[in-house]
C-alpha cells in the first residue's frame, strides 16, 4: 500500500526494489495522486499503466484528487484550469512537453488549445486508463481510498468527493464500526496507524520519503525510501 507519488518516479523505482525483495507476490495498492508537483508525472503514469494494464492485475491504482483535476481540465478547459495549474499542473504539463499559452492569449481559447495539446501528448490510452481508476478497494475490514471517509457513514455509502478530497472529521473522529481506512492525501511526518486510520502520505515529492505499508493478520509494517528500517 503506497502513498502519494506526485511525479516521483525515481522513488517509485527505489520502493519497487524493496517490495520485490521483501513482499514479492503481495497485492499492491497505490493510493492516488500520481501526478503534479514532482517533475516526472509522465514517467510515473507510464510505469503504473505498464504494471496494471487492466482490472485483473494484482496492482491496484486508485484515483486521487489530482487525477480528478486533470480529467476535469480535459473535459472542460474553460472551468477551473487555474486551480489545477496552481496545485501542480504546471509540472505535469512540463513532463509531457506541453508549454503554457502566451500570456496575451484569450484565456478561454488558450486553455482549449492547451487541453488539446495535452490530450495529444498523453494519448487516448493513458486518458482512458486514468478515467477507469477506482475510488476505493477493499479486503476484509480494510478500505483503501485516496483522501478519507465520513466517520459517521458506512464505507459502502461514502460520497465520491469525500473519498477524493477528505472529510473535516476524518482525522479527529474515531471510526466505531471496526473498519480501517488506509489513505494518503494529507501529509504526515511519519506513517502511522491510529483510530481506524492508516496514513501513508509523507510528501515524497518534497521530502524524498515515499512511504508504504505491508498489512497482514492485523499487523502493519511501515517502510519507506531512503532507509532500510522497517517500523
Percent share of the chain, pLDDT over 90: 83
Who has greater pLDDT, 129 or 226? 129
Average pLDDT for 108-113: 88
Q: Look at residue 229 in the predicted model and tell me its pLDDT.
A: 56
Q: Look at residue 81 in the predicted model and tell me its pLDDT.
A: 78
SS3 67: helix
| 179-204: b (≥16 Cβ within 10 Å) or e | bbbbbbbbeeeebbbeebbbbbbbbb
Question: Cα dist. 191→60, 119, 199 in Å?
Answer: 20, 35, 5
Average pLDDT, the chain: 93
Query: Would you say residue 228 has pLDDT above 60?
Result: no
Q: Look at residue 200 in the predicted model and tell me its pLDDT.
A: 98
For the question of whether the overall pTM of this predicted structure is more than 0.85, the answer is yes
Question: Which residue reads 519507506 in cell numbers?
Answer: 224
Average pLDDT for 178-184: 97
Who has greater pLDDT, 4 or 58? 4
Q: How many Cα atoms within 13 Å fall on the side-chain side of residue 48?
A: 33
Q: Which residues contact 187 (CB under 8 A, 6 or more apart)?
A: 201, 202, 203
Dihedral of CA atoms 135, 191, 16, 145 in degrees, nearest 10, equals 0
Q: Look at residue 80 in the predicted model and tell me its pLDDT.
A: 67
Residue 188: pLDDT band by 50, 70, 90 thresholds?
very high
Beta strand 142-145 with 136-139 is antiparallel
Q: Where exactly are the structural domains of the chain?
A: 9-142+208-224
Average pLDDT for 184-192: 96
Amino acid at each position: 500500500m503506497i502513498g502519494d507519488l506526485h511525479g516521483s518516479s525515481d522513488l517509485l523505482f527505489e520502493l519497487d526494489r524493496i517490495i520485490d525483495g521483501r513482499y514479492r507476490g503481495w497485492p499492491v495498492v497505490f493510493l492516488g495522486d500520481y501526478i503534479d508537483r514532482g517533475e516526472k508525472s509522465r514517467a510515473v503514469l507510464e510505469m503504473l499503466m505498464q504494471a496494471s494494464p487492466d482490472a485483473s492485475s494484482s496492482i491496484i491504482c486508485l484515483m486521487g484528487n489530482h487525477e480528478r483535476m486533470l480529467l476535469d481540465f480535459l473535459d472542460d478547459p474553460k472551468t477551473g484550469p487555474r486551480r489545477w495549474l496552481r496545485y501542480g499542473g504546471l509540472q505535469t504539463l512540463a513532463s509531457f512537453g506541453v508549454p503554457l499559452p502566451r500570456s496575451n492569449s484569450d484565456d478561454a481559447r488558450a486553455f482549449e488549445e492547451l487541453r488539446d495539446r495535452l490530450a495529444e501528448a498523453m494519448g487516448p490510452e493513458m486518458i482512458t486508463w486514468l478515467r477507469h481508476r477506482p475510488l476505493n478497494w477493499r479486503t476484509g475490514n480494510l478500505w483503501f481510498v485516496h483522501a478519507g471517509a465520513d466517520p459517521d457513514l458506512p464505507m459502502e455509502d461514502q460520497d465520491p468527493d469525500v473519498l477524493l478530497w477528505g472529510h473535516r472529521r476524518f482525522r479527529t473522529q474515531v471510526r466505531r464500526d471496526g473498519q480501517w481506512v488506509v489513505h494518503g492525501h494529507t501529509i504526515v511526518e511519519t506513517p502511522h496507524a491510529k483510530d481506524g486510520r492508516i496514513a501513508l502520505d509523507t510528501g515524497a515529492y518534497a521530502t524524498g520519503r515515499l512511504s508504504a505499508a505491508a498489512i497482514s493478520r492485523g499487523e502493519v509494517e511501515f517502510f519507506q525510501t531512503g532507509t532500510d528500517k522497517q517500523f
